[in-house]
Structure 1
Amino acid sequence: MSRSTGFIMVLLCLSLLAKAQLQTPYILNGSATQRTCNCYVLTQDVNKSSGTVWNKNLIDLRNSFDYFFDVNLGCKDYDGADGIGFILQTKGTNLGATGSGIGFQGISPSLGIIIDTYQNSIDNDPSYDHLAIQMDGVTDHNAINNLAGPVTALDGNDNIEDCKWHIFRVKWDAAVMQMTVTMDGVLRLSLDKDVVHDIFGNNPMVYWGFAGSTGGSYNVQQFCAALRPQLDFRNDQRFCIGDPIVFRDSSKSFGTITRWQWDFGDGTTSTVSQPGMHQYAKPGVYDVTMVIEDNSGCISDTMHQQVTIGTYPVAEMSSHPLCLGRPLTIKDATTLDVGTLTEWDWELNGHSASGQNIVADFTTPGTYPVKLSVLTKEGCKDDTIQMLSVYNTPSISASGHDACIGDAIDFSGTNLTPGVALAGWHWNLGDGNTATVKDIDYTYKAGGRYTAEVYAVSKDGCFSDSFRIPVKIVDIKLDAGRDTLIAKGQPLQLNAVATGDNLSYSWYPPTGLNDVLIPDPVAVLFQDVRYVLIVNSPEGCVQMDTLLVKAYTGPEFYVPNAFSPNHDGQNDMFRAIAAGVPQLDFLCVWDRWGKEVFRTSELTGAWDGTFKGQDSPVGTYVYQIQGTDYTGHKFSRKGTVTLVR
C-alpha cells in the first residue's frame, strides 16, 4: 500500500469516527448498549443488571423542553424486569442500583420519572405496572420523596410489558415550573415544583438520560430518542376523487428533523416537511411512505400508511313488497366502486332513522317518498328519493274434511279480504304433494293424519298467513284371511284383521258360522263356501274382503298323478292337498332306482321337477306322504306320479 493510499484510509477512518461520535451523543454505563443510531438497550434478558444512558450535553432547566421517546419494557409480564426511568441528575457517569432500584436508587440529587414493572413490597409498589415521579434516588412510594403517582403506566391497562413500543413524552414548562408526563398521547402525571431550587440546589444545569435494572426476573428494556415519522390530515379532509389531499407532517422526534422523503404511492414524491395539497388522478388505495432524518444523522424506519381515494357512492334502496302486518324492511342497495360505506341516514313518514337497513312504520296503504343519504369513510356522499308503495296484506281461510281411504277431499280456499286481489294460491297437502289452485279435490294414497296448509299471494306480492287444516284418512286395512281348505265337519277358526276402534263386522253367508258379527267366528262346513266380510268404521267408512273355504272329504291327501314342470304356469309343481291334516310329517319322492329326489315337511311344500338344480328326466316317480289329522291320528298314502314336459 502506498503512503498516499494509507493517508486516505486514515482520513476515512477519522471521518467515520467523527460521524459515529455525532450519532452517539450519550455516555453508556453498566449493561447499556447502543442498538441503532438512536436506540439503546438498558438491560438485556439477564438477571441482576443495571444500565444507564446519559446525554453528554447538559441542559438548562431555566429553559423549557419537550422530549419524545419510544420505550419498550419487554414481553414478560409476571416474571419480567423491574423497569426503567427518565432521570435528571448532575453526574454523567452515575449508575444506580439493580433490582428494585431501577438504576435510579442512590443517585442524588436527581429527579426520576419511573416506569416500574415489578411489585416490590419494600417500595410499597402497587400490583400494576405504574408511573411515578420521585427524587434523590428514593424508590419508596410512601416516602416524602415520592412527588407524584403511582398511576397505571398505560391508560386503562395494567400491563406495559407487552412487546410493544410506546410513545413516552416528558415536557418541562420552565415559566410555570410544571412537568407533565404522557404515554401514548394520554396525560398520566403532572408535577408543579421548583425543581431547580428544591432538588438541585439552584443549579439549573443537569444531565438527562435513562436508567434501567433487572433483579431475579428480567426483560430486555430499551428506549429510542424518538424518530418516528408520522402524518395527519385536517379534521375536515375528504378523500374523494377530485379532492385535493393536504398531507401534514406530525412526526415525533427528539432532535430536530432535517430531512423528509415523501412518496405518495402514485409515482410522485416530495422532500419538504409540509408538502401541502396533492391530487390523485384516479381512485384507489395508495401506500404513502415517509422517511425522516434528524440533526444527529439518524434515519428513521419507513412509515407506511394506506390512503384510500374513494369514488362517490350511488345511493339506492330496495325492498320486497311493503305489506302491512309484516316487517316493512327497506334495505340499502347503494353501489360503491372504491371506499367503505359508514353512514346511512333515512327520512320517511315524517321522521328520520339511521342504519344500513331499516323497518318503516307505515300504517296505511299508499305511496310514500323515502329519502336515503349515504356517506363513506372517505367523506363521499350521495342521496336519493324514491317513491315506495305500501299494500294491504290478504287474509284467508280454508276448509277440508276427513275421508275414507280412496275418497277425495274437497279442499277450498276463501279470501277474507275481497278488496285485495289475489294472484295465486299455494297448497302443501302434507304428504309431499302441492297444488296451485284455489280449490282442489285430492285423494290421499295412504291412511293416517295429515295437515294440509295453504297461503295466498296478492297481485301486489303480499303473502297471507298460512291456514292449516288437519285431516284424517281412515283406512280399515281389512284382511279376512287367506283362502284355505278343511275336511268336511272340521272346525275352522276364522281370524279377520282390521285397523281402528269400535268397528262393526258382518259375514255373509252365515253358513256354518257360530257368529256373523265378530271378526273371528268358527266355521264348520260340509261344502265349499266363499265368505264376504263387510266392516264399518264409526266415521262411516266401509271395506269388504272375501275368503274362500273349500271342504273336502277327509282327513285325506289329494295327490295328482302327473305334472309338467315346463314353466308355463300350468301344473308346474307336484304338491298334495291335505284336507283335515294340520301337520305334515313328510312328503318324499323317489326315482325308479330308489334314489330320493325330493323331501318336505311343509304343508305348502312342492316339488318343481329338479334334483340338485338339474331337470329330472321324464318318467314315473314313487311318492309317500304321511301326516297327523285334526283328531291327532297319523295316516299315510303311497303312489306314483308321472313327470312330463
Structure 2
Amino acid sequence: MLMRTLAWGVLWLLFMNKLYGQAYNLVGDAVAYGEDCYRLTDDVPWQNGAVWYADKLSIASSFELEFTMNFGNHNSNGADGIVLVLQTQGNRALGNPGQGIGFKGFAPSLGIEFDTHRNTDEQDPTYDHLALVQDGIINHQSPQNLAGPVPASALSDNIEDGRDHLVRVRWDVTSQVLDVYFDCALRLSSRVDMASIFGGQQEVWWGFTGGTGQLSNTQRVCLRKDIVVRDTFEICPGEAVQLVARSSPSNQYSWSPAGLVNSSTIQNPLARPTQDQLFVVTYQDYCGRLVQDSVFVQVAQPFSLDLGEKRVFCGENSWELVPEVSAADPALKLHYRWSTGDTLPTILPQTAGWYQLTLRADACYITDSVEVVLYPADHESTLPSTFHCFYEDALQLSSALAEERQDYYWPHSEETAAAVYVSRGGEYELISTNRYGCRFRETFVVDEQCPAPPVAPEAFTPNGDGHNDLFRIISRRAIDLRWMVYDRWGNVIFVGNGQEAGWDGYYQGVLCPPGAYPWKANYRPLGKTQDAFSEKRGVVWLIR
C-alpha cells in the first residue's frame, strides 16, 4: 500500500489525512477572543499587539486571504489602525506602537495599512485610509509607499464605526498584482515585485499588527479557518484528500465532477482520484456573489514493490536479496532504504531473519518485508508427502513449490523435466535444487483405488422419446452410491441407490413441472464399508 508522510492542501492543510485549522501565535497585547477572533489592542493608550500565522505563506503561488476587521467606535479620538504584514523576522516578532501601528521596524516587509488616525508627519490624508507600504515605513511621501493612500471604505471616510468589515486580499503570481477589497468593493490594485522586496525568498511569515498611541481603540480581527486558499494538492495513488471550500452564508455548495467526491453538496467532501483531476466548487460568498473556486489534485506516478515469499538460501555463496520493482514512469527517481540501513537496490543477507525495504519516490513510499532462511550447503528440505488419485488416464506430477527450480531429478525414471507423467499407482520422488543452492525432496503417493467422484448431466428431457428420458448419476469406478433429488422447497422427491437407478421426472405419479431440481450424492469405494461417505451436490434442469 502506498503511504504518505505529508500532503499539502489546496484549500486546507492536510497532515496524514487529518484536517487542522490555522494556528496562530499571539504577541504583545494581543488576546484571543475565541471563534478565531483576536483583539490586537484594547481601548488603552500605547498598546501594541500582533497575531502571526504559525506557518509561512508561499508568495511564489497565488493566494487569497479573507477576514473581518473591527477598528473600534472612537472616531475623532480613536487610533491608530491595523496592518496586514508579510515579513521575514519570524512569527514571534513585534514592531513599534503608536503611529507605527506595530508595523514599524519590520524590514524587509510588505504591509497593507488600514490607518484610522491622521498623522501629518506621515503625510496622512484626512480620511481613514488604505495603503500599500514597504519595510516598516508608512510615510506616504517615501519611496516605500507603493500604492495609495485611498479611502479604506467606498461608502464612508470613517471605518471606526464599531462594525466588522469584510476584507479580501488576492495575490495573482502570474500578473504580479495584489488586489485589496473592503466591504466587497475593490479599493486598491497594484503590481508588486515580491521577489525584489524579499530578496528572492519564496515563503514569508504573515499576520496582523495593531497599535495605539495617546489615542486608542479596541481593534480586532477575525480569521476564518479557511483563510488560506491554495489551488493544488499532491497525493499518492490510492490516497484520499479532503477538499475544503470557503465558508458560505447559504451553506450551499456544488462540487464537480460530482461522481469523484463522496458528496457534491457539502463544504468539505472527500475525493480519491486515480489520476490528475481538476475539481470546481460553486457557492455564494459573503458579498452575495456566485463564486467558482478550483482545486487541482495531482496524483503521483504509481510504483510497486514485491520482495516475494520466504527466501531460503543454502551454502556460503553471496546470495543477493533482489526486490521486484516497477514504475509507471521509467524516469521516476526511486530511493531504497533497507532495515539494515543499506540504501542500494539489493543487499547480501548475512544472518537469517526478517528484512524490510522501504521504497520512496518524493513523498510517497511502499514498505515490504521478507523472511530469509540460511542453510549450509549440504542441507536438504524434505517436504510433506502429497497424495494423488490415478484413474484411466496418465497422471501428471509436478513440484508443489511455487518457486522456480534450477535442476529437477526423478529417480524412478531418471527424467530431469519439471513435470512427468505416471500410469500406475505407487510412490514417486522428485529431487530439485533452487537458484539459491537449496535442495528439496518431494514424495508423491499415487493411489489407484480412489473413488471417482460421481458425475451427472446438467439437464434431461423426460418426454418419452427414448432419448435423455432419465436422470442418472454415474462414476468411472464401482462405488457405493446413494443419491436423492429435491424440489425447490427441500422435499425429497426421488431416492436412488447405485448407478443403475434413474429418475424419470415423476413424483407420486405426476410429471414434475420444468425447472431446476437440486440433488445430493453420497459415495465411497465399493466394498470399503469402513470408509466414510463423501458428498457431492448439484442441480439438474428438467426440460419439456
Kindly name which structure, 1 or 2, has the bigger radius of gyration based on alpha carbons: 1
TM-score, length of structure 2 as denominator length: 0.40
Answer 1 or 2: higher relative contact order, Cα 8 Å, separation at least 6: 2
TM-score, length of structure 1 as denominator length: 0.34
